[in-house]
Structure 1
């Protein structure tokens, strides 16, 4: 009975909240990554893995090239895959099929982003190779997640007001996710890395499960809206209604 009530409550959450929560699961990982990945690897910062400067700068150079290529490449592939074969409605909104496809993509790429984040903190290859592969994998999955997350905003909301509403929750959850940086100070210790590894495992687990839960919830809301063709375009509780995937 309690589980049923919880499920019903979650299904009743405004779409803007569910969409915004995805920013939380990105933020809790990315802020910690930006703060610690150099300190973990580079010997000039008393690193944990002690790679030499040459290996570090080779990794950064390859990463720079990869980062400059994957943004336009993934964007082009995404538009080609998700939009080229999809008709657009008379109002200019993307079809529900595109929304569901992006939600499914987030459901896959989000947990993979969490795994690529976790791969930084557990030694599994020579330090230079691990640094290079982890950078490229993490940046690739981060690009895919950001791409689908931001594209979903345009698919869910047409008006500037509705998009501002979605962005408000994204900003709110992103700010909450930055608290992971403050929590990390309690675990960071170059001399004993085990507690920080455990902290990163907890972050990655929470983020991965959060992506799965939020995308499943969003998918159910979109599918439920598709079964209510007579529902007004904008629901009072901020849910999805009819063909127009807007938020309250």
Structure 2
């Protein structure tokens, strides 16, 4: 591997820091606002609508700003991580400290929490994705970098497990708050380490003007000049490409499904899986262990996937996910252990490996998926529960969501992915860190 060792360690540190906060945030924010703050359906939908609108704007906008290199914070990837890391962990702890009991206060709390988190998270995600590409242009290096990165990120995945046990599954909310602050401090320290030690070969201060790299620097200058094209021009170029549309549609539903699993797994399992079948401690391990499974599968699955066509592997995953959903729907919700295994396998880490972190078309799925699921649950009276036993109709609705998500989304992805064309000799190069 030709990637500088110090850069590799610093990059992995940033990945651990990012994983620590992002895993906990996506798993808990919906559950906290719905179960503990009892947010009204109107305000939840309003918050997600604002989140959706900002998501559409900020992703390509920040990409354009980063490419412009005009601001100090965007001049180098190192400075972006150094300055934005502490800000990101600050936005991470905002949702866990309630502002008041009034419905509009809770709604405003969620809106500002989502917008502030997404603003910094998007900026950081773009920085880390660009850094992944810049660390090496060799396919073999990127595959190894993906392995090292996800192996390191395993150290950042226990945050849900830690929070489940320290807070007794949110029963002790003060302990939950304390633990989130400790997680934020650890994440901030890792971001600071990464920001101090990481650098990109394309950073101005690392480029040496020698005869041997004149051609390389000409290419860099050319890319920078292309990056200074207008925002609208760049967006139109992407939207006119069939390959991009096929990839973006597939990615949109990938995020749509992923957000359902991340945001509502705890809620669905608490109602569909009885405590006498799945004890509370086992449930905590299950919630905390799912991020481990995804990370480990990426580490050990990268070598397997590169031996075959990524295109065919991903398409086979979508086909199998449709089949699994149909089988689970046929079996029924009474077979609890089959449902547990089905939910555990519904992460599809191999398909995640080919998608980048951000996209103009796909980012709205982060808001649309919770909006849709929350609306369905509200129809069946979830917002009125407040500790009471859920009805059979609500449980059935949750089970149908669990089964129909992979069936419908997998079918759409199978079709849309078939329109994505890539030369066989370069299929391995579509591996992108997520």
Structure 1-normalised TM-score? 0.72
Query: Within the alignment, does 1:28 sit opposite 2:7 as a pair?
Result: no
Indicate the residue corresponding to 2:80 in structure 1: 105
Q: Which of the residues 32, 36, 50 maps onto 1:40?
A: 32
Q: Which has the larger radius of gyration?
A: 2
In the alignment, is the contact (CA less than 8 A) between 1:29 and 1:203 conserved in 2?
yes
Name the CA shift for 1:66/1:15 in 2 (closer, same or farther; >3 Å).
same
Between 56-65 and 189-198, the greater mean CA deviation after superposition: 189-198
Structure 2 gaps of 5+ residues are 214-434
1:1-248 to 2 correspondences below 5 Å: 14-42=6-34, 47-81=35-69, 101-124=76-99, 126-189=105-168, 190-218=170-198, 226=206
Runs of 4+ in structure 1 off by over 4 angstroms are 97-100, 219-223, 225-230
Q: 1:154-179: per-residue Cα shift (whole Å, max 9, x none)?
A: 22212222222322222112232112
Q: CA deviation at 1:208?
A: 0.9
Q: Which has the bigger relative contact order, CA under 8 A and spacing at least 6?
A: 1
Conservation of the 8 A alpha-carbon contact between 1:99 and 1:152 = no
> Deviations for 1:88-119, whole angstroms, at most 9, x for unmatched residues?
xxxxxxxxx99971110111111111000011
Provide the C-alpha distance between the structure 2 equivalents of 1:169 and 1:144, rounded to a whole number of angstroms.
23
Aligned residues: 203
Q: In structure 2, the residue corresponding to 1:51 is in which secondary structure?
A: coil
CA contact (8 A) 2:166 2:179 kept: yes
State the TM-score, normalized to the length of structure 2. Answer: 0.42
Root mean square deviation of aligned Cα: 3.1
Instruction: Give yes or no for contact 2:16–2:152 (8 Å, CA) kept in 1.
Output: yes
Change over 3 Å in CA distance of 1:228–1:98 after alignment to 2: farther
Q: CA deviation at 1:20?
A: 1.6
For 1:159 and 1:220, how far apart are their aligned partners in 2? 15
Cα distance in structure 2, aligned partners of 1:65 and 1:73: 13
Contact 2:81 2:194 in 1 (8 A): no
Structure (1 or 2) with the greater helix fraction? 2
Unaligned residue ranges in structure 1 (runs of 5+): 1-11, 84-96, 234-248
- What is the DSSP-based 3-state SS (H/G/I as helix, E as strand, rest coil) of the residue aligned with 2:166? coil
State how far apart, in whole Å, the 2-side matches of 1:154 and 1:98 are. Answer: 19
1:50 Cα offset (Å)? 2.2
**Does the 8 A contact of 1:19 with 1:170 survive in 2?**
yes
